[in-house]
């Protein structure tokens, strides 16, 4: 088995209660690296076309990469994969940090695949290579925070836990999978998939070492890389992503008033400062937190022991809200009450809600209410007005527990729009069921391509001009010169496909030279990597995830395009006023660049052969996207 891998996958057949090991193939690892690269290849074969995402034929995978749990910078990530119930039954994945991913490998496995549906609520324990399914009926309805404490008492303080809260158990499509009580595999509605299979938690424990091709060389390489810190290292280290809230909102990158407003007029600097940088780390008891062996440590914990938004758990100690939460629950809702956002963050962590999806859906509901499309009777008596912190907190709790209006909103914007009679179409900002994250294509036009074409829609972590790594020296044209962007975009996409598949944190690429990516893979695995090979493998993974959607009859070129996402009509105020993104030209040139048909999005036979994906040729000739 190649170095960097434990060499084993765990197959868990829930209906039968059977567990078996599967040897990991060298060929698959070499071609698809790990993480969602490996997941896309395996699930393409193992999930039948047309399977119900919440039914027994779907497969839920938890997968690591070859750099997870190694001295790599920063090797703490894992991914969850499945057919998504949120995005029209397309490919679903969610990426997460914390401590769970490395400890899954230390317990002896590169990944777990769950098949079928259990007859009762269960949880999986892997203790030093020995897996066991246990009854979880006594854990039903528990929040993530007390659940993790309980399981650590039951199985030892040295175990790590990933789990779902009540939102996942109740199949809310905005639900996610949590670990470290605060780290979320947040997108694609995969908490609902875990809930549909009646899996409450996975507990991993072990001290096995990840085999490396050159362990001493890997440690020396890490020392060299750490000395090259630059780019965003200082702000990430001091503030985490909270350091960017003010500037993002004022520049036009961050959401304001459900994407219909402008920071300069609707949420000006004095308000944005209240939920950004020094205000956030100035909260009582603030202490930095890092994922497993992370030199950046962008997370944090803080106290909020009194007041109307006092925190419920850990003697009033909670977790620092990150940029996406601060923006989606702050500027997006015209809410400058930081204590309320800290409280909402705790609620979402405990109930297992994606803060991006939840904040966006509440924004839709508020705008409908403000414009007379929702009555007070429909909002359970709440005044859903912009900036109403008490109502925002209360509605988040209702969403996580599927109560009242929260039951309608718990499946996200697209589902709420349908259930409410298709009211406020302009206000329902999503792409194929996925709410837009807190970065605006009107400010970074390349995001339009990323949001509209990538296998998982509306995802800022999927590569593109938002994420330009340290050391990426390709000349970049003006962002509003829409022609000529395709080569740069395709390379950035490919880089982050490999970053995500390898088990690295993307923030590491924004702090340390990108050339360390092939270097670390080479030293860890013993295989030779350079940037050209990274581009090749990255595009192979990208195309493999896309093929899953094509087989389901999903052509990304037919996805809905929210007017507010691309400036149609353009904003009249703010830094991105008068901007309408020429997304059609961006996407056309991009598809030509990567060798996909500009109408069907089906890759050409030549493209598939170049990517060593010949086996897809016959399959994709049959699709009718």
pLDDT given at position 219: 96
* DSSP β-bridge partners for residue 353: 175
For residue 56, tell me if it sits in a domain: yes
Q: Give the CATH number of the domain where residue 27 resides.
A: 3.60.9.10
For residue 26, count other CB atoms closer than 10 A to its CB: 13
The DSSP bridge pattern shows strands 91-96 and 299-303 to be unpaired
* Same domain as 416, residue 498: no
Output the six-digit token pair for 136: 């979880």
Rounded Cα gap, residues 613 and 610, in angstroms:
8
Confidence of residue 624 (pLDDT cuts 50, 70, 90): low
pLDDT given at position 558: 98
| Closest alpha carbon to 525 in 501, 495, 544 | 501
Q: Give the CATH number of the domain where residue 398 resides.
A: 1.10.569.10
* Same domain as 452, residue 430: no
Q: What is the pLDDT of residues 56-85, one digit of tens each?
A: 999 999 999 999 999 999 999 999 999 999
Q: What is the pLDDT of residues 216-232, one digit of tens each?
A: 999 999 999 999 999 99
Rounded Cα gap, residues 343 and 136, in angstroms:
28
* Same domain as 374, residue 310: yes
Rounded Cα gap, residues 411 and 86, in angstroms:
8
Domain boundary among 190, 205, 220: 205
* Same domain as 177, residue 48: yes
For residue 587, tell me if it sits in a domain: yes
pLDDT given at position 621: 86
* Same domain as 539, residue 483: yes
For residue 416, tell me if it sits in a domain: yes
pLDDT given at position 557: 98
pLDDT given at position 110: 98
Q: What number is the average pLDDT over the span 193-198? A: 98
pLDDT at 213 over 60: yes
* Same domain as 198, residue 64: yes
* Same domain as 139, residue 23: yes
Element (H or E) spanning 205, and its range?
strand 199-205
pLDDT given at position 13: 98
SS (H, E, C) 524-584: HHCCCCCHHHHHHHHHHHHHHHHHHHHHCCCCHHHCCCCHHHHCCCCCCCCCCCCCCCCHH
For residue 221, tell me if it sits in a domain: no
Q: What number is the average pLDDT over the span 543-558? A: 97
For residue 402, tell me if it sits in a domain: yes
Q: What is the pLDDT of residues 250-260, one digit of tens each?
A: 999 999 999 99
Residue 85's domain comprises 8-205
When divided into structural domains, the chain yields a total of: 3
Rounded Cα gap, residues 250 and 267, in angstroms:
8
pLDDT given at position 622: 81
Global pTM reads 0.98
CA 291 to chain centre: 16
Rounded Cα gap, residues 299 and 291, in angstroms:
8
pLDDT given at position 1: 54
Question: Looking up tokens 């030093």, which residue turns up?
Answer: 128
* Same domain as 606, residue 470: yes
For residue 225, tell me if it sits in a domain: no
Domain boundary among 435, 455, 479: 435
Q: What number is the average pLDDT over the span 266-281? A: 98
Mean pLDDT over the full length of the chain: 97
Q: What is the pLDDT of residues 348-386, one digit of tens each?
A: 999 999 999 999 999 999 999 999 999 999 999 999 999
For residue 222, tell me if it sits in a domain: no
Residues 2 and 26: beta-carbon distance below 8 Å: yes
pLDDT at 146 over 90: yes
Q: Give the CATH number of the domain where residue 530 resides.
A: 1.10.599.10
For residue 546, tell me if it sits in a domain: yes
Rounded Cα gap, residues 387 and 267, in angstroms:
10
Report helix, strand or coil for 174. Answer: coil
Residues 450 and 493: beta-carbon distance below 8 Å: yes
Residue 381: burial class (beta carbons within 10 Å; 0-12, 13-18, 19+): exposed
pLDDT given at position 625: 57
Q: What is the pLDDT of residues 378-417, one digit of tens each?
A: 999 999 999 999 999 999 999 999 999 999 999 999 999 9
């Amino acid at each position: 088995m190649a170095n960097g891998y434990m060499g084993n996958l765990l197959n868990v057949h829930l209906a039968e209660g059977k567990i078996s090991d599967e040897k990991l193939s060298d060929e698959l690892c070499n071609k698809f690296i790990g993480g969602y690269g490996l997941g896309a290849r395996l699930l393409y074969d193992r999930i039948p076309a047309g399977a119900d995402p919440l039914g027994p034929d779907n497969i839920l995978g938890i997968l690591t990469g070859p750099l997870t749990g190694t001295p790599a910078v920063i090797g703490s990530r894992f991914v969850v994969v499945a057919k998504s119930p949120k995005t029209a039954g397309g490919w679903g994945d969610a990426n997460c940090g914390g401590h769970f991913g490395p400890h899954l490998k230390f317990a002896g496995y590169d990944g777990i695949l769950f098949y079928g549906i259990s007859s009762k609520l269960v949880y999986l324990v892997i203790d030093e290579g020995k897996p066991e399914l246990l009854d979880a009926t006594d854990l039903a309805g528990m929040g993530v925070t007390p659940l993790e404490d309980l399981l650590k008492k039951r199985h030892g303080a040295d175990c790590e836990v990933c789990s779902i809260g009540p939102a996942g158990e109740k199949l809310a499509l905005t639900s996610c999978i949590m670990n470290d009580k605060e780290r979320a595999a947040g997108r694609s509605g995969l908490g609902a998939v875990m809930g549909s299979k009646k899996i409450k938690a996975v507990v991993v424990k072990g001290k096995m070492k990840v085999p490396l091709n050159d362990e001493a060389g890997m440690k020396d390489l890490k020392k060299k890389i750490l000395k090259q810190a630059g780019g965003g290292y200082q702000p990430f280290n001091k503030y985490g992503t909270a350091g960017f809230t003010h500037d993002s909102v004022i520049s036009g990158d961050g959401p304001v008033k459900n994407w219909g407003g402008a920071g300069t007029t609707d949420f000006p600097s004095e308000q944005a400062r209240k939920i950004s940088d020094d205000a956030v780390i100035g909260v009582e008891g603030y202490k930095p937190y890092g994922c497993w062996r992370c030199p950046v440590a962008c997370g944090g914990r803080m106290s909020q022991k009194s007041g109307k938004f006092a925190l419920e758990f850990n003697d009033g100690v909670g977790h620092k809200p990150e940029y996406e939460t601060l923006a989606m629950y702050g500027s997006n809702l015209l809410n400058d009450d930081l204590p309320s956002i800290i409280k909402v963050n705790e609620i979402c962590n405990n109930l297992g809600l994606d803060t991006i999806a939840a904040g966006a859906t509440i924004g839709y509901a508020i705008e409908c209410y403000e414009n007379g499309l929702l009555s007070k009777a429909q909002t359970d008596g709440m005044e859903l007005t912009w900036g109403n912190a008490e109502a925002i907190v209360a509605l988040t709790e209702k969403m996580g527990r599927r109560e009242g209006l929260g039951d309608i909103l718990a499946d996200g914007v697209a589902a709420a729009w349908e259930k409410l009679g298709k009211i406020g179409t302009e206000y329902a900002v999503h792409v194929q069921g996925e709410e837009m994250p807190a970065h605006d294509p009107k400010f970074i036009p390349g995001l339009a391509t990323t949001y509209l074409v990538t296998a998982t829609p509306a995802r800022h972590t999927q590569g593109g001009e938002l994420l330009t790594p340290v050391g990426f020296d390709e000349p970049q044209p003006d962002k509003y010169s829409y022609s000529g962007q395709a080569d740069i975009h395709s390379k950035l996409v490919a880089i982050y496909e490999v970053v995500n598949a390898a088990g690295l944190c993307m923030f590491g690429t924004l702090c340390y030279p990108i050339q360390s990516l092939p270097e670390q893979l080479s030293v860890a695995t013993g295989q030779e990597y350079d940037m050209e090979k990274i581009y090749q493998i990255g595009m192979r993974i990208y195309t493999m995830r896309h093929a899953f959607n094509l087989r389901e009859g999903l052509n990304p070129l037919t996805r809905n395009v929210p007017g507010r996402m691309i400036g149609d009509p353009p904003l009249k105020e703010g830094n991105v006023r008068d901007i309408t993104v020429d997304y059609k030209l961006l996407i056309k040139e991009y598809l030509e660049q990567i060798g996909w048909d500009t109408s069907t999005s089906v890759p050409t036979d030549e493209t598939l052969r170049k990517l060593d994906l010949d086996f897809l040729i016959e399959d994709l000739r049959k699709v009718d996207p």
